[in-house]
Amino acid sequence: MKRLVIFASGSGTNAENIIQYFQTTKTAAVTHVLSNNEHAKVFERCERLQVPATLFDKKSLTVEDTVLQFLKQEADYIILAGFLWKIPSRIVAAFPNKIINIHPALLPKYGGKGMYGMHVHKAVKENNERETGITIHYVNEQYDEGAIIFQAKTEVSAEDTPEDIADKVHKLEYTFFPKIIEDVIGQND
């Protein structure tokens, strides 16, 4: 059974969905959640789901090897579920094709630094896009530029608000993210 460590910065809905999905499989288990935000709701979700969660700071991720050493001991795969910091190159190098991110748009559109959550959905609306979706991709040294694993699309109507778009994208995330993680693990092992 593969060990998954999730990085999350916010509410943790995707983290919760992934934890619950893998509680019913023999492929992998979420063994830990790491967050850079002491106020993240993901901590409450982890407590309820009985998954250990740890707060870390930028120094332990980027300057010291604290997070890297933890990951080397505890993770087979790293899952980014609403995590907003760039992963340092030494962690990317230590986990080649083992760090998976989900982005709430059809990359390469609406990717890069600062493009997350409602920022993405507002940009989709402002640009009158007729479709949007999710991209699940491997993480490299650049924001949202790793090799694409999977994309799913949803229509955007002229009447949709950014909140409506967010709801459509969240449905895709919940439907596909855990299954695609499981597929990647199956292909790599």
DSSP 110-148: T-STT--HHHHHHHHHHTT-SEEEEEEEE--SSTT-SPE
pLDDT, residue 155, reads 98
Please state, in angstroms and rounded to a whole number, the distance separating the CA atoms of residues 139 and 130: 27
The fourth-level CATH superfamily of domain 2-102+135-150+173-188 is: Formyl transferase, N-terminal domain (3.40.50.170)
Please state, in angstroms and rounded to a whole number, the distance separating the CA atoms of residues 19 and 174: 11
Give yes or no: 121 in active site: no
Catalytic residue, from 32, 103, 121, 137: name it. 103
pLDDT, residue 50, reads 96
- Reading the chain (189 residues) residue by residue, the pLDDT tens digits are 999 999 999 999 999 999 999 999 999 999 999 999 999 999 999 999 999 999 999 999 999 999 999 999 999 999 999 998 999 999 999 999 999 999 999 999 999 988 999 999 999 999 999 999 999 999 999 889 999 999 999 999 999 999 999 999 999 999 999 999 999 999 887
pLDDT, residue 124, reads 97
pLDDT, residue 71, reads 97
Which residue is associated with the tokens 């997070």?
A: 67
